[in-house]
């Protein structure tokens, strides 16, 4: 990593969370890696009719999004609610907050699959 990028990262560590996120994002972009943007996720959530999609993270974990109402998009993160199995309406029982920097891809899921 170039010295200037390292210096900016070190300076960002003592700063607020937003500044650190911007610095990390700049480094990742400089490395040529495509970063998932809020607009990218929003596009999947607003499809009509809605089509479930799968998020793949940098560590290999995957999460299927089957209920758009259980997802909230932030500037740099995503809230994913996991629905209760016995609820007639989608109500989250557990949740996960994922940094957009860790989402490698989003792709449609075949609705015939069951996970």
**Domain containing residue 12:** 1-33
Print burial letters for 97-108: b (CB count within 10 Å at least 16), e (below 16): ebbbbebeebee
pLDDT, tens digit (0-9, with 9 covering 90-100), for 2-39? 444 444 443 434 446 666 666 666 666 666 667 789 99
Same domain, residue pair 45 and 60:
yes
- Do residues 44 and 80 share a domain? yes
Q: How many domains does one find in the chain?
A: 2
Cβ–Cβ under 8 Å, residues 107 and 52: no
Beta bridge partners of 54: 64, 107
Is residue 60 located within the same domain as residue 18? Answer: no
Which segments within 1-115 are labelled E, that is strand? 53-57, 62-65, 71-73, 77-83, 92-99, 103-108
Considering only CA atoms, which of 82, 78, 111, 115 is closest in space to residue 97? Answer: 78
Q: pTM score > 0.85 for this model?
A: no
Beta pairing, strands 71-73 & 77-83: antiparallel
Residue 115's pLDDT is what?
41
């Amino acid at each position: 990593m170039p010295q200037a990028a390292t210096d900016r990262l070190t300076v960002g560590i003592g700063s607020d969370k937003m500044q650190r996120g911007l610095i990390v994002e700049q480094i990742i972009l400089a490395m040529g890696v495509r970063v998932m943007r809020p607009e990218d996720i929003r596009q999947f959530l607003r499809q009509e009719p809605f089509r479930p999609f799968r998020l793949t993270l940098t560590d290999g974990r995957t999460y299927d999004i089957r209920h758009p109402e259980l997802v909230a998009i932030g500037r740099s993160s995503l809230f994913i609610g996991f629905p209760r199995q016995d609820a007639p309406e989608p109500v989250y029982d557990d949740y996960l907050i994922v940094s957009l920097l860790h989402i490698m891809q989003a792709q449609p899921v075949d609705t015939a699959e069951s996970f």
